[in-house]
């Protein structure tokens, strides 16, 4: 594993609109070993606008941290990576070859490069050269669609281009987030390259992480949506790997303390406007947090209307008070 990444790292997956500085720090506190920024456009780096600079902002307590870049123009990506290294000195640059969003794919970025291996090779080699000897990693999907699963080919190309580690999301671009992540193809990637491979997709609990590590032989795992609803998953995975014991989930009180802290930090430090705007932007996050809680269906409706921290306090108090009641939906 390239320094300073620890053995068997547990990564927080990059998630646009989710893994901002506040959430990354919260996940670090919960035991995430490595974090990655939301993806940043190479073109945005040139414009150096306020939003892009915010994406690049991190605290030293978040290290090791990678800045994830996307784009399609090799020289632009190379220059953008060079500037990022000069400006903020992250621990590594990560290249996004997995984004399925049309806005990115239509400009040949993200997962689009999976169906253009010569360009993929050029992008990776150009960026590696532009920042050498600084480490560059990559995140891929297993292919463009089910008829063109080529993760072993793309991984080999990336390794030969000097990429130091590869995170593989076990789905094709066409699948988006549907179906089940294909860890078998991730295992084939592990057998194909010598660099560390990080397994990603559908790891929702400690035993999933253990299964993914065992089944595919990956060097580490990366957690996305599982961390959105249960950021303590990092602690649970580590405890399970070390002791074979499954930690009981945090009490409802502890969960709500965490959620309220997240919202308070977002309001205090967030760059998304005042309390009301910030709380509106937190609604989707609150929906994710409600997953698996008693009365989740009712909670989801309640958080769709939350506008202030005081309202959130009331929802939390009510949820804790009602938690002894037998909810019909069993937390679904
Ligand atoms: C809201 C959201 C935003 C995402 N943004 C990014 C991104 O900016 N860069 C990236 O490489 N992957 C992104 N992803 C994909 C995740 O990193 C991860 O590969 C995917 O969610 C599968 O892992 P999971 O099953 O643990 O969620 C995003 C996923 C979600 C749900």
Residue-wise pLDDT for 51-60, tens only, equals 899 999 999 9
Q: What count of other Cβ atoms lies within 10 Å of the Cβ of residue 156?
A: 15
Whether 212 is catalytic: no
Tell me the pLDDT band of 3, cut-offs 50, 70 and 90: low
User: Of the given ranges (80-89, 99-108, 311-320), which has the lowest mean pLDDT?
Assistant: 99-108
Residues 6+ apart with CB under 8 A from 5: 33, 34, 64, 91, 92, 165, 196, 220
Per-residue pLDDT at 11 exceeds 60: yes
pLDDT in tens, 17-33: 999 999 999 999 999 99
Assigned token pair, 120: 């993929």
Q: How far, in Å, is the centroid of ligand 1 from the Cα of 50? A: 23
Distance in angstroms (rounded) separating the CA atoms of residues 83 and 63: 19
pLDDT at 50 over 90: no
- What integer pLDDT is reported at residue 144 of this predicted model? 96
**pTM assigned to the model:** 0.95
Predicted confidence (pLDDT) per residue in 195-235, tens digit:
999 999 999 999 999 999 999 999 999 999 999 999 999 99
Q: Average pLDDT, stretch 160-174? A: 98
322 CA to centre of ligand 1 in angstroms: 33
Instruction: Report the pLDDT value the prediction gives residue 108, as an integer from 0 to 100.
Output: 87
Phi and psi at 97, nearest 5°, equal: -120, 30
> Nearest Cα to 168, choosing from 149, 146, 239?
149
Report the distance separating Cα 202 and Cα 256, nearest Å.
24
Closest atom of ligand 1 to CA, residue 110: 11
Residue with tokens 């609150």: 286
CA of 13 to the centre of ligand 1 (A): 6
Pocket of ligand 1 (CB under 6 A): 13-18, 38-39, 68, 96, 98-99, 139, 169, 200-203, 223-226
Choosing from 27, 99, 212, 263, which is the catalytic residue? 99
What confidence score (pLDDT) does residue 228 get?
Answer: 98
Pocket test for ligand 1, best of 19, 169, 182, 234 (most atoms within 8 A of CB): 169
């Amino acid at each position: 594993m390239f320094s300073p990444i620890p053995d068997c790292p547990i990564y927080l997956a990059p998630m646009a609109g989710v893994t901002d500085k506040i959430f990354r720090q919260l996940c670090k506190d919960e035991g995430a070993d490595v974090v990655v920024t939301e993806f940043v456009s190479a073109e945005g780096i040139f414009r150096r606008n306020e939003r892009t600079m915010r994406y690049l902002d991190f605290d030293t307590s978040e290290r090791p941290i990678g800045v994830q870049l996307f784009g399609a123009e090799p020289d632009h990506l190379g220059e953008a990576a060079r500037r990022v290294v000069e400006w903020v000195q992250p621990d590594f640059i990560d290249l996004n070859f997995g984004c399925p969003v049309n806005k990115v794919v239509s400009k040949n970025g993200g997962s689009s490069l999976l169906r253009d291996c010569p360009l993929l090779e050029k992008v990776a080699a150009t960026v590696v050269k532009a920042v050498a000897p600084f480490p560059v990693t990559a995140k891929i999907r297993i292919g463009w669609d089910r008829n063109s699963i080529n993760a072993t080919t793309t991984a080999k190309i990336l390794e030969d281009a000097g990429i130091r580690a590869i995170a593989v999301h076990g789905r094709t671009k066409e699948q988006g987030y549907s179906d089940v992540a294909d860890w078998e193809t991730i295992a084939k990637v592990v057998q194909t390259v010598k660099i560390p491979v990080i397994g990603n997709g559908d790891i929702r609990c400690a035993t999933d992480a253990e299964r993914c590590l065992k089944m595919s032989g990956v060097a580490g795992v990366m957690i996305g949506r599982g961390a959105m609803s249960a950021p303590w998953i990092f602690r649970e995975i580590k405890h399970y790997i070390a002791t074979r014991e499954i930690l009981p989930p945090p009490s409802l009180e502890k969960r709500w303390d965490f959620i309220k802290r997240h919202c308070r930090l977002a309001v205090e430090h967030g760059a998304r406007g005042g309390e009301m705007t910030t709380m509106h932007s937190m609604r989707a996050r609150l929906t994710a947090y409600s997953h698996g809680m008693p009365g989740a269906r009712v909670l989801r409706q309640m958080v769709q209307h939350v506008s202030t921290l005081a309202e959130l306090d009331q929802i939390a108090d009510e949820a804790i008070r009602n938690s002894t009641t037998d909810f019909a939906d069993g937390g679904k």
